[in-house]
Each structure stands twice: as C-alpha cells, then as structure tokens.
A and B are shown apart, each in its own frame.
Chain A
Amino acid sequence: EPEVTQTPSHQVTQMGQEVILRCVPISNHLYFYWYRQILGQKVEFLVSFYNNEISEKSEIFDDQFSVERPDGSNFTLKIRSTKLEDSAMYFCASRRGDQPQHFGDGTRLSIL
C-alpha cells in the first residue's frame, strides 16, 4: 500500500538554526498538509497546500515557517530560525478527494 514517507525520522538542531523537514506524499494525491504534535498533546494543524500554493495556515505558521514543493514528488517544511518551543513531532499528510488524510511516520524535531 502506498505510504507517505518522511525524512529524517529524528532531527536534532541548535536553537536559531534553520531546519528542513522532508516529505514524499502518495503519488496520486493532490492535497498536502503539515501538522505537529508536542509530546503528549494533541495534533495541531500547521498548513495545507494545493495546486502549488498554500490553501490555509494556522496561527502557529508564522513567517518563520515556509513550505515548498520543489519538484513533482517532495513537499518540504522549513523553519528558518528554530526556537525551543518548536520541539515536537512533525507529521506530513496527503489526501486524494474525500479520502482520509494519510499520515507519514513523522519527524521528531529536538531543539537544543
């Protein structure tokens, strides 16, 4: 069964550094998403992306965050200057039509 794949599985970064989280959505999906989950808390929406542009973004997704689909397969989330509170599990998801969003295994981001 097709899967959403995310790399790396764990990223450790110094505060203030830039980080890029990578995702390969399922190939025939058209809608892409990023969510995050701080340890032990609920899943929070960050941003959705369709037709090469952002469809919606949350208050969390400020100007330190950006997304990009640099080619036909990858979907990336960049955090320009990381803060301690950015430490979380970041999930990429993709969707086709009315089907449920399929989630990747996540990237655990640890900011030191």
Chain B
Amino acid sequence: ELKVEQNPLFLSMQEKKNYTIYCNYSTTSDRLYWYRQDPGKSLESLFVLLSNGAVKQEGRLMASLDTKARLSTLHITAAVHDLSATYFCAVDSAAGNKLTFGGGTRVLVKP
C-alpha cells in the first residue's frame, strides 16, 4: 500500500525567508502533484511532476521530484502572507486511478 508522508505538518514562516516542505512516498511512481488548499476551500493544482528530475517553478514556489529517492520538495522563496494555506502532495497510482495524499503542511506566514 502506498504511503505518502509530508513534513513538517506545520510551518510558521517569517516573511522574506526561505522554506522547504518535504514529501516522501513508499512505492515507485512517476507522477506527483502539489495542491494548495485555503481554509474551507477546494484543492487548487500547483504543480505536476511527471518524471525524475522534474523541476517546476511558479512565482515564489518551486517543486522538484527525485523518483529514485521517492522524494519531492516544495521550496518557498521569500515567503509572503498570501502563501498562507495548507499544501498537499499527492502521488498517482501506476494506473492513474487514484491519488494518495500526504497529510498536508499547514503554512502560516507571519509579518
């Protein structure tokens, strides 16, 4: 059974500093997704990582995938308040039939 673990579970950030969220998973997969969820809201797709070594960047967020280490990272550069949310990584099954989500990282950016 695929297990997906994120850490940390909670991240209190200071503005303008850099932080990293880690996502480890237990079985081979080449498809990993990062989603953002604001309180009471739906899941917004941030990044799709489809191969080993994939790196995607959007604004202050950058995601990477190392399929050999079964590790993805979400790096936040110069945090700003607007980035406060919960971030989930999700790993796709080989058949693409389901996503297994990590436990989420709740991010709070303080001035």
A residues near B (Cβ < 8 Å) are: 31, 33, 35, 41-45, 48, 50, 55-56, 58, 91, 95, 98-106
Contact present for A43 and B98 (CB under 8 Å): no
Whether B48 and A99, one on each chain, are in contact in the complex, defined by CB atoms closer than 8 angstroms, is: yes
Task: List 4 additional A-B contacts (Cβ < 8 Å) besides A42-B103, A43-B43.
Answer: A95-B96, A98-B50, A99-B48, A100-B48
Report B40-56 CB contacts with A as 1/0, cut-off 8 Å. Answer: 01111100101000000
Some 29 contacts from A to B, beta carbons below 8 A apart, are: A35-B99, A41-B103, A42-B88, A42-B101, A42-B104, A43-B99, A45-B98, A45-B99, A45-B101, A55-B97, A56-B93, A56-B97, A56-B98, A91-B42, A91-B43, A98-B48, A98-B50, A99-B48, A100-B33, A101-B45, A101-B99, A102-B45, A103-B35, A103-B42, A103-B43, A103-B44, A104-B42, A105-B41, A106-B42
Which of chain A's residues have a CB closer than 8 A to the CB of B97? Answer: 48, 50, 55-56
Closest approach, in angstroms, between the C-beta of B49 and any C-beta of chain A? 10
Name the B residues within 8 Å of A50 (CB-CB): 97
> Closest residue of chain B to A54, judged by CB?
B97
Expressed in whole angstroms, the minimum distance between the Cβ of A58 and any Cβ of chain B is: 8
Closest to A108 in B: B40
Q: Is the CB of A33 within 8 A of B98?
A: yes
Query: CA A44 – CA B4 in complex, angstroms?
Result: 12
Residue pair B42, A105 in contact (C-beta under 8 Å): yes
